[in-house]
Amino acid sequence: MNQLITLNRRELLKTTTGLVTGWVVAGSSLALIAPGRAWAVDLVALTSFDGAMLMSMARTIAPHDKLDDAAYALVIKVVDGDAAKDANTLKMIKEGVAILGTGFAAGSENARVEVLKKIESSAFFQTMRVKTLQVLYSSPIAYAYFEYEGEAFSKGGYLFRGFNDLRWLPEVPAEDSGPLPAGA
């Protein structure tokens, strides 16, 4: 039996959760793969405030100044999904955000690092650290930013397919490079 559920404005606002939004920076690696300039992540269990705090936390855990916020927003989306599925996870996240304090996101990087050092043994910090590393570095956005071309096994391996095309490392002198395999 279908029932029509009516909510007044106050009830609707109580049940509405968060939204994390941003803009893709022109000229960034994400601009090459993003379908548009704006991005948004709908949050189910967390509020926009929680999302902003967690995004600052993720950026502090894995700081890459030129990596777009959209990559970090993917982390928050996964954390929000986990919190929506499990009441204990939601409680832990909410309590952790409260411990960070309202000024955490606006604080300097050094101030945020100091706050995180104080809670680094907590389940909240460890959960966010693991999710940040797992999700951030497995996203296509991060792949594009770091110029990672993906696994090479199915393409014949790395030796003849970009093994030495890292532009951010200095060239290794020939006498320090070791023997080359046959056919190289």
**Tens digits of residue pLDDT in 21-38:** 554 444 444 444 444 445
Per residue in 118-164, pLDDT (tens digit) is 999 999 999 999 999 999 999 888 888 888 877 777 777 777 666 66
Chain centroid to CA 171: how far?
31
Q: Is residue 174 part of a domain?
A: no
Calpha distance 90→100 (Å, rounded):
15
- In degrees and rounded to multiples of 5, residue 118 shows phi and psi of -70, -25
Residue 81 token pair? 């999904």
Q: Is residue 1 part of a domain?
A: no
Residue 23 zone, left/alpha/beta (φ > 0; ψ -120 to 50; rest): beta
Q: Is residue 178 part of a domain?
A: no
Q: Is residue 176 part of a domain?
A: no
Q: Of how many residues is the chain composed?
A: 184
Residues 6+ apart with CB under 8 A from 133: 61, 62
Q: Is residue 111 part of a domain?
A: yes
Per-residue pLDDT at 180 exceeds 80: no
Q: What is the pLDDT of residue 6?
A: 46
DSSP, collapsed to helix, strand or coil, labels residue 12 as helix
Q: Is residue 180 part of a domain?
A: no
Residue 84: count of CB within 10 angstroms of its CB = 15
Rounded to the nearest 10°, the torsion over CA 125, 127, 129, 132 is -130
Mean pLDDT for 2-24 is: 46
Q: Which domain holds residue 23?
A: 9-169
Q: What is the pLDDT of residue 78?
A: 95
Q: Is residue 82 part of a domain?
A: yes
Q: What is the pLDDT of residue 59?
A: 95
Please count the structural domains in the chain: 1
What is the three-state SS of 95-119? HHHHHHCCCCCCCCHHHHHHHHHHH
Q: Is residue 3 part of a domain?
A: no
User: 113 and 57 in contact (C-beta within 8 Å)?
Assistant: no
Which of the two residues, 151 and 66, has the higher pLDDT score? 66
**How large is the greatest C-alpha to C-alpha distance in the chain, in angstroms?**
79
